[in-house]
Protein backbone atom coordinates (compact mmCIF):
# COMPACT_ATOMS: atom_id res chain seq x y z
CA UNK A 1 0.00 0.00 0.00
CA UNK A 2 1.28 3.45 -0.97
CA UNK A 3 0.87 5.85 1.90
CA UNK A 4 2.12 9.23 3.02
CA UNK A 5 1.91 11.78 5.76
CA UNK A 6 0.72 14.99 4.14
CA UNK A 7 0.59 18.56 5.32
CA UNK A 8 -0.30 21.89 3.77
CA UNK A 9 1.92 24.94 3.64
CA UNK A 10 0.19 28.04 2.34
CA UNK A 11 -0.04 31.74 3.13
CA UNK A 12 3.59 32.26 2.13
CA UNK A 13 6.13 31.04 4.67
CA UNK A 14 4.01 31.72 7.76
CA UNK A 15 3.69 28.02 8.62
CA UNK A 16 7.31 27.05 7.93
CA UNK A 17 8.23 26.64 11.63
CA UNK A 18 5.19 24.42 12.09
CA UNK A 19 6.08 22.14 9.19
CA UNK A 20 9.70 21.91 10.32
CA UNK A 21 8.74 20.83 13.83
CA UNK A 22 6.08 18.44 12.51
CA UNK A 23 8.59 16.77 10.16
CA UNK A 24 11.17 16.42 12.91
CA UNK A 25 8.55 14.90 15.22
CA UNK A 26 7.45 12.40 12.55
CA UNK A 27 11.04 11.35 11.89
CA UNK A 28 11.59 10.94 15.63
CA UNK A 29 8.84 8.28 15.66
CA UNK A 30 10.95 6.13 13.31
CA UNK A 31 8.30 6.07 10.59
CA UNK A 32 9.33 4.92 7.13
CA UNK A 33 6.37 6.60 5.42
CA UNK A 34 6.81 9.47 3.00
CA UNK A 35 6.32 13.05 4.14
CA UNK A 36 4.63 15.28 1.58
CA UNK A 37 4.05 19.02 1.88
CA UNK A 38 1.44 20.51 -0.45
CA UNK A 39 2.68 24.03 -1.16
CA UNK A 40 0.84 27.01 -2.61
CA UNK A 41 2.59 29.21 -5.18
CA UNK A 42 3.40 31.92 -2.61
CA UNK A 43 5.73 29.62 -0.63
CA UNK A 44 9.30 30.82 -1.25
CA UNK A 45 12.05 28.85 -2.97
CA UNK A 46 14.11 29.06 0.20
CA UNK A 47 11.37 27.44 2.25
CA UNK A 48 10.85 24.69 -0.32
CA UNK A 49 14.59 23.93 -0.39
CA UNK A 50 14.78 23.88 3.38
CA UNK A 51 11.82 21.50 3.72
CA UNK A 52 13.23 19.20 1.03
CA UNK A 53 16.54 19.07 2.88
CA UNK A 54 14.57 18.00 5.96
CA UNK A 55 12.94 15.09 4.14
CA UNK A 56 9.71 16.60 2.82
CA UNK A 57 8.59 16.06 -0.77
CA UNK A 58 6.99 19.20 -2.15
CA UNK A 59 3.81 19.05 -4.23
CA UNK A 60 2.69 22.29 -5.87
CA UNK A 61 -0.99 22.93 -5.54
CA UNK A 62 -3.33 25.52 -6.96
CA UNK A 63 -5.44 27.58 -4.56
CA UNK A 64 -9.01 26.56 -3.85
CA UNK A 65 -11.57 29.00 -2.51
CA UNK A 66 -15.12 28.83 -1.37
CA UNK A 67 -17.32 31.60 -2.70
CA UNK A 68 -18.63 33.89 0.02
CA UNK A 69 -16.80 32.11 2.84
CA UNK A 70 -16.48 34.25 5.94
CA UNK A 71 -13.50 32.78 7.74
CA UNK A 72 -13.33 32.79 11.52
CA UNK A 73 -9.68 33.92 11.23
CA UNK A 74 -8.01 35.61 8.24
CA UNK A 75 -5.56 32.69 8.05
CA UNK A 76 -8.49 30.38 7.19
CA UNK A 77 -8.63 32.05 3.79
CA UNK A 78 -6.35 29.48 2.14
CA UNK A 79 -7.42 26.41 4.04
CA UNK A 80 -9.71 24.98 1.37
CA UNK A 81 -6.54 24.04 -0.50
CA UNK A 82 -6.35 21.24 2.07
CA UNK A 83 -9.02 19.43 0.08
CA UNK A 84 -6.42 18.92 -2.63
CA UNK A 85 -5.06 16.05 -0.53
CA UNK A 86 -7.88 14.05 -2.16
CA UNK A 87 -6.08 14.64 -5.47
CA UNK A 88 -2.89 12.87 -4.36
CA UNK A 89 -4.06 9.71 -6.06
CA UNK A 90 -0.56 8.25 -6.26
CA UNK A 91 -1.29 7.24 -2.65
CA UNK A 92 -3.86 4.71 -1.47
CA UNK A 93 -4.04 6.29 1.94
CA UNK A 94 -3.03 9.65 3.36
CA UNK A 95 -2.74 10.82 6.94
CA UNK A 96 -3.31 14.54 6.68
CA UNK A 97 -1.75 16.52 9.52
CA UNK A 98 -2.12 20.27 10.00
CA UNK A 99 1.10 22.27 9.99
CA UNK A 100 0.29 23.19 13.60
CA UNK A 101 0.38 19.61 14.85
CA UNK A 102 3.21 17.74 16.56
CA UNK A 103 3.48 13.95 16.72
CA UNK A 104 4.46 12.50 20.11
CA UNK A 105 4.70 8.81 19.22
CA UNK A 106 4.49 6.56 16.17
CA UNK A 107 1.05 6.77 14.52
CA UNK A 108 1.63 4.52 11.48
CA UNK A 109 -1.33 2.44 12.65
CA UNK A 110 -3.55 5.22 11.29
CA UNK A 111 -2.86 3.91 7.77
CA UNK A 112 -4.88 0.80 8.69
CA UNK A 113 -7.99 2.86 9.44
CA UNK A 114 -10.99 2.71 7.12
CA UNK A 115 -11.95 5.70 4.98
CA UNK A 116 -12.87 8.23 6.29
CA UNK A 117 -11.44 8.66 9.80
CA UNK A 118 -10.89 11.64 12.10
CA UNK A 119 -10.94 12.53 15.79
CA UNK A 120 -13.65 14.50 17.59
CA UNK A 121 -13.39 18.24 17.97
CA UNK A 122 -13.08 19.23 21.61
CA UNK A 123 -15.42 22.15 21.23
CA UNK A 124 -18.13 20.08 19.49
CA UNK A 125 -17.47 16.36 20.01
CA UNK A 126 -20.17 15.23 17.56
CA UNK A 127 -18.14 16.88 14.82
CA UNK A 128 -14.61 15.99 13.82
CA UNK A 129 -11.58 18.21 13.89
CA UNK A 130 -9.97 18.50 10.46
CA UNK A 131 -6.42 18.87 11.80
CA UNK A 132 -5.80 15.11 11.65
CA UNK A 133 -7.62 13.06 9.01
CA UNK A 134 -7.17 9.65 7.41
CA UNK A 135 -8.35 9.61 3.81
CA UNK A 136 -8.18 7.72 0.55
CA UNK A 137 -7.37 10.13 -2.30
CA UNK A 138 -9.87 10.02 -5.14
CA UNK A 139 -10.36 12.45 -8.03
CA UNK A 140 -14.01 11.49 -8.06
CA UNK A 141 -14.49 12.47 -4.41
CA UNK A 142 -12.52 15.66 -5.00
CA UNK A 143 -14.75 16.56 -7.95
CA UNK A 144 -17.84 15.98 -5.80
CA UNK A 145 -16.39 18.26 -3.11
CA UNK A 146 -15.67 21.04 -5.60
CA UNK A 147 -19.15 20.66 -7.03
CA UNK A 148 -20.84 21.36 -3.69
CA UNK A 149 -18.12 23.58 -2.15
CA UNK A 150 -19.63 26.99 -2.89
CA UNK A 151 -23.12 26.13 -1.66
CA UNK A 152 -22.36 23.84 1.28
CA UNK A 153 -22.54 25.46 4.71
CA UNK A 154 -19.40 25.71 6.84
CA UNK A 155 -20.00 26.59 10.48
CA UNK A 156 -16.47 27.94 11.04
CA UNK A 157 -15.99 29.47 7.61
CA UNK A 158 -13.13 27.01 7.00
CA UNK A 159 -12.44 23.52 5.71
CA UNK A 160 -13.52 21.91 8.97
CA UNK A 161 -17.05 23.22 8.77
CA UNK A 162 -17.30 22.25 5.12
CA UNK A 163 -15.90 18.75 5.66
CA UNK A 164 -18.34 18.17 8.50
CA UNK A 165 -21.12 19.02 6.07
CA UNK A 166 -19.61 16.73 3.43
CA UNK A 167 -19.12 13.84 5.87
CA UNK A 168 -22.29 14.62 7.81
CA UNK A 169 -22.64 10.98 8.88
CA UNK A 170 -19.17 10.79 10.49
CA UNK A 171 -20.48 10.68 14.05
CA UNK A 172 -22.79 7.77 13.19
CA UNK A 173 -20.10 5.76 11.36
CA UNK A 174 -18.71 2.54 12.90
CA UNK A 175 -16.25 3.22 15.68
CA UNK A 176 -13.10 2.59 13.57
CA UNK A 177 -13.86 5.84 11.73
CA UNK A 178 -13.72 7.80 14.95
CA UNK A 179 -10.14 8.20 16.17
CA UNK A 180 -9.49 8.36 19.90
CA UNK A 181 -9.12 11.92 21.14
CA UNK A 182 -5.37 11.40 21.73
CA UNK A 183 -4.79 11.53 17.97
CA UNK A 184 -5.81 15.17 17.91
CA UNK A 185 -5.29 16.68 21.32
CA UNK A 186 -5.66 20.44 21.64
CA UNK A 187 -2.57 21.85 23.33
CA UNK A 188 -4.61 23.59 26.02
CA UNK A 189 -6.43 20.35 26.88
CA UNK A 190 -3.11 18.49 27.11
CA UNK A 191 -1.73 21.20 29.35
CA UNK A 192 -4.77 20.90 31.61
CA UNK A 193 -4.63 17.07 31.75
CA UNK A 194 -0.92 17.06 32.56
CA UNK A 195 -1.64 19.04 35.68
CA UNK A 196 -3.67 16.12 37.02
CA UNK A 197 -1.51 13.50 38.80
CA UNK A 198 -3.62 10.47 37.82
CA UNK A 199 -4.45 11.47 34.25
CA UNK A 200 -0.80 12.18 33.65
CA UNK A 201 0.08 8.49 33.50
CA UNK A 202 -2.60 7.42 31.03
CA UNK A 203 -1.68 10.45 28.94
CA UNK A 204 1.78 9.03 28.29
CA UNK A 205 0.11 6.22 26.37
CA UNK A 206 -2.81 8.04 24.85
CA UNK A 207 -1.43 11.38 23.73
CA UNK A 208 -0.28 10.85 20.13
CA UNK A 209 -0.69 14.18 18.34
CA UNK A 210 -0.80 17.68 19.84
CA UNK A 211 -2.75 20.23 17.86
CA UNK A 212 -1.73 23.85 18.41
CA UNK A 213 -5.03 25.28 17.29
CA UNK A 214 -5.63 29.00 17.80
CA UNK A 215 -2.34 29.92 19.56
CA UNK A 216 0.77 29.00 17.51
CA UNK A 217 3.86 28.33 19.65
CA UNK A 218 6.14 30.08 17.15
CA UNK A 219 4.20 33.34 17.53
CA UNK A 220 5.51 33.70 21.06
CA UNK A 221 8.93 33.50 22.70
CA UNK A 222 10.19 29.98 23.47
CA UNK A 223 8.03 28.54 26.24
CA UNK A 224 9.44 26.78 29.24
CA UNK A 225 6.19 25.25 30.39
CA UNK A 226 2.90 23.93 29.13
CA UNK A 227 2.27 22.09 25.86
CA UNK A 228 4.22 24.75 23.93
CA UNK A 229 7.36 23.33 25.55
CA UNK A 230 6.94 20.08 23.55
CA UNK A 231 6.86 22.08 20.35
CA UNK A 232 9.89 24.21 21.24
CA UNK A 233 11.94 21.15 22.16
CA UNK A 234 11.24 19.63 18.76
CA UNK A 235 11.88 22.90 16.92
CA UNK A 236 15.19 23.29 18.75
CA UNK A 237 16.28 19.93 17.29
CA UNK A 238 15.89 21.45 13.82
CA UNK A 239 17.42 24.75 14.91
CA UNK A 240 20.05 23.97 17.55
CA UNK A 241 21.22 27.58 17.37
CA UNK A 242 18.09 28.44 19.39
CA UNK A 243 18.85 25.90 22.08
CA UNK A 244 20.73 28.02 24.56
CA UNK A 245 22.52 27.06 27.69
CA UNK A 246 20.29 29.24 29.89
CA UNK A 247 17.23 27.44 28.55
CA UNK A 248 18.57 24.15 29.88
CA UNK A 249 19.35 25.72 33.23
CA UNK A 250 15.83 27.07 33.51
CA UNK A 251 14.38 23.69 32.49
CA UNK A 252 16.18 21.99 35.33
CA UNK A 253 14.63 24.27 37.93
CA UNK A 254 12.05 22.71 40.21
CA UNK A 255 11.09 26.11 41.52
CA UNK A 256 10.25 28.41 38.67
CA UNK A 257 9.35 31.49 40.62
CA UNK A 258 10.48 34.71 39.02
CA UNK A 259 13.53 35.10 41.24
CA UNK A 260 14.81 31.55 40.59
CA UNK A 261 14.39 31.94 36.82
CA UNK A 262 16.29 35.22 36.84
CA UNK A 263 19.03 33.62 38.91
CA UNK A 264 19.37 30.81 36.37
CA UNK A 265 19.60 33.39 33.61
CA UNK A 266 22.39 35.48 35.05
CA UNK A 267 24.47 32.69 36.56
MN1 LIG B 1 -4.71 23.44 12.89
pLDDT confidence band for 265 (50 / 70 / 90): confident
Q: How far is the CA of 83 from the centre of ligand 1 (A)?
A: 14
- The fraction of the chain above a pLDDT of 90, given in percent, is 65
pLDDT of residue 139: 98
Residue 90 is part of a domain; what is its CATH number? 3.90.550.10
Mark whether 106 and 173 lie in a shared domain.
yes
**In the predicted model, what is the mean pLDDT of the chain?**
90
Q: Of 135, 125, 131, 123, which Cα lies nearest the Cα of 177? A: 135
Give the residue, 71 or 67, on which the prediction is more confident.
Answer: 67
pLDDT of residue 77: 66
pLDDT of residue 224: 67
Q: How many CA atoms lie within 13 A of 109 on its CB side?
A: 8
User: Can you tell me the mean pLDDT for 230-247?
Assistant: 84
Q: How far is the CA of 255 from the centre of ligand 1 (A)?
A: 33
Per the CB < 8 A criterion, the answer to whether 222 and 247 are in contact is: yes
pLDDT confidence band for 194 (50 / 70 / 90): confident
User: Can you tell me the mean pLDDT for 97-113?
Assistant: 98
| Number of structural domains in the chain | 2
Helix or strand run (H / E) with residue 65:
none
User: Can you tell me the mean pLDDT for 201-225?
Assistant: 86
The Cα 39–Cα 59 span in angstroms is 6
Question: DSSP states of 109-134 as a string?
Answer: GGGGSPSSEEEEPSSSTTSEEEEEEE
- The residue segments making up the domain with residue 212 are 184-266
Q: How far is the CA of 211 from the centre of ligand 1 (A)?
A: 6
Nearest-5° angle of CA 246, CA 252, CA 255? 105
User: Can you tell me the mean pLDDT for 128-140?
Assistant: 98
The Cα 94–Cα 156 span in angstroms is 24
pLDDT of residue 71: 62
pLDDT of residue 193: 86
pLDDT confidence band for 74 (50 / 70 / 90): low
The Cα 169–Cα 62 span in angstroms is 29
pLDDT of residue 80: 92
Q: Kindly report, residue by residue over 1-36, the tens digit of the pLDDT.
A: 899 999 999 988 989 999 999 999 999 999 999 999
Choose the final residue of a domain: 182, 209, 224. Answer: 182
Q: How far is the CA of 203 from the centre of ligand 1 (A)?
A: 21
Mark whether 79 and 10 lie in a shared domain.
yes
Give the residue, 99 or 229, on which the prediction is more confident.
Answer: 99
Q: How far is the CA of 221 from the centre of ligand 1 (A)?
A: 20
SS3 135: strand
User: How many other β-carbons are positioned within 10 Å of the β-carbon of residue 1?
Assistant: 7
Mark whether 56 and 15 lie in a shared domain.
yes
Q: Of 198, 13, 212, 188, which Cα lies nearest the Cα of 98? A: 212
Mark whether 114 and 167 lie in a shared domain.
yes
Mark whether 130 and 245 lie in a shared domain.
no
Mark whether 195 and 139 lie in a shared domain.
no
pLDDT at 220 over 90: no
Mark whether 173 and 189 lie in a shared domain.
no
pLDDT confidence band for 198 (50 / 70 / 90): confident
Choose the final residue of a domain: 128, 153, 182. Answer: 182
Mark whether 113 and 227 lie in a shared domain.
no
Choose the final residue of a domain: 152, 182, 212. Answer: 182
Amino acid sequence: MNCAYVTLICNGDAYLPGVEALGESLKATGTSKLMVAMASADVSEETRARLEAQGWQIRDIAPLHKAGAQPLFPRFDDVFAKLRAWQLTEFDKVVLLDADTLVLQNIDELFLRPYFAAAPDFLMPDRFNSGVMVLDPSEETFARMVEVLDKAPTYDGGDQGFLNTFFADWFAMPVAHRLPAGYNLMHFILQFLRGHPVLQRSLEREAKVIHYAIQKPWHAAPQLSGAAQDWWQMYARVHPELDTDWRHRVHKLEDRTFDRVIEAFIR
